[in-house]
Structures are given as C-alpha cells and as structure tokens.
Amino acid sequence: MVLRVVQWATGGVGVAAIKGVLEHPELELAGCWVHSGAKTGRDVGDIIGTAPLGVIATNSLDDILALDADAVIYAPLLPNLDEVTALLRSGKNVISPIGWFYPGASEAAPLAAAAREGGVTLHGAGIGPGAATELFPLLLSVMSTGVTFVRAEEYSDLRTYGAPDVLRHVMGFGGTPDSALSGPMQKLLNGGFFQSVRLVVDRLGFAA
C-alpha cells in the first residue's frame, strides 16, 4: 500500500523530507505547499533541484485541503494552529517537527477535536525538541539513584548554518536583546521547548 504524502513548506527540513518521501517505496508525493510566491506554480523537482516530479507547488491552503492524501508533513518556519486543525479536519494525518510534542490540555483540545472530526492523528516529532532534549535526561536518570534537578544548556556552532535569513530574522542574530524578546524565536522557545521541560518534569515526578 502506497501512502500519499503532502509536504508543507520547502525550507531545509522540507526539502530533506521531500527527498525522503521520494526515496521510500511505500510513499508518494501528492502535493506541496510553499510560502514563497516565487515558488508557487513551479514543479517541486525544480524547487529541490531534481528532475521534474509532476507535482506543482501551491501557496493555497484550499488546494492542499482538496487533495486526496493520507498525511501532511507540516514543516513551516512557525506553527499555525488554524492551518493544522484545517488539515486534520480534512482527513489528513499531520506529522510536524515544529511543535505539539507534549502539548498541555488547553493546547491539545482543539487539535484533538479536529483530529477526531477527520478521523486522523497528529504526531509531533523532531530532534531538539522532540527527542534529544527529552530522551537524554530521562535516559541518564535511569543510571541515577536520585535526581534533584535538571539543568539544560544549548550550544550550537552556526557558522555553516544554511539559512542566514533564519539566523537574522528568526533567531535574532545581529539584533538587540529587546528585539529578540519580541521576535519569532521567543514564540518557538515558549512552544516546543517548554513542552520538553514539561515532559521531563512530569516523567521524573517533579513539581511543575
């Protein structure tokens, strides 16, 4: 059985996801949503640097909702609850590396309702957050007789990071501390990373 997959957004993660779909014998690329008007109407193969695929990129949510597809890999720069609930209600499973790894009850409620309506699922996945930031402290706790606190620090060498616009306009490099506090990165930190903290706190039995 071949599953039809839609790719939402074609940044670094999105391009890698498309190539993964193309290489998998049980997956078929059914559609592609793009943010940039310059990419709209182009063959997805042209966008990712391969031979033509016969799949034309669109920036219309309605076009994606109308597709016959089993799942959407939802990987934009920032999450949009309305988009995801619409995808779920349309009967498409959603896999996303940008959030909903461990949502709280109030955040999960509209997503769960949309998923039930569409008869599908939402799965939050990723490396950090989504795997390393939760699995490492929990794995290390197994080798300990007691855990009194968990402290997390992140260090990244971004000199070869392939998305300079993300560094400047999302992460805030080159800006001021005030602009960083009001920028989109703050929203990301308040989303997925807080979910990571909450998951570790819950699993270790700490008081939140």
pLDDT class of 190 with cuts at 50, 70, 90: low
What is the pLDDT confidence band of residue 18, given thresholds at 50, 70 and 90? very high
| Distance (Å) of CA 52 to CA 49, 77, 191, 198 | 9, 25, 37, 44
92-96, 161-165, 178-182, range with the lowest pLDDT: 161-165
Residue 178: pLDDT above 80? Answer: yes
- The reply to whether 157 falls in a domain is yes
pTM summary value: 0.87
Amino acid (1-letter code) at residue 14: G
- Would residue 129 count as lying in a domain? no
CA pair distance 80, 71, nearest whole angstrom: 17
What amino acid occupies position 162?
G
Structural domain count of the chain = 2
- Boundary (domain end) residue, out of 91, 124, 157: 124
Judge whether 171 and 181 are in contact, CB under 8 Å: no
106 & 158 share domain: no
In a domain, 134, yes or no: no
Greater confidence (87 vs 201) lies with 87
- Predicted confidence at residue 152, as pLDDT, reads 78
pLDDT band of residue 117 (cuts 50, 70, 90) is very high
Q: Which of 15-19, 58-62, 89-93, 127-131 shows the lowest per-residue confidence on average (mean pLDDT)?
A: 127-131
Question: For residue 208, is pLDDT > 70?
Answer: no
Q: Over range 155-182, report the average pLDDT.
A: 82
Note whether 24 and 119 are same-domain residues.
yes
**How far apart are the C-alpha atoms of 60 and 168, rounded to whole Å?**
27
Q: Is residue 73 one of the residues assigned to a domain?
A: yes
Confidence of residue 102 (pLDDT cuts 50, 70, 90): confident
Structural domain includes residue 137: no
Per the structure, the complete domain to which residue 165 belongs is given by 147-204
| pLDDT for residue 134 | 84
Hey, what are 52's tokens? Answer: 């033509």
More reliable by pLDDT, 71 or 179: 71
Residue 172 pLDDT greater than 70, yes or no:
yes
Higher pLDDT, residue 37 or 127: 37
Q: Are 93 and 7 contained in the same domain?
A: yes
40 SS3 class: coil
Instruction: Provide mean pLDDT across the span 65-70.
Output: 98
Mean pLDDT of the chain: 90
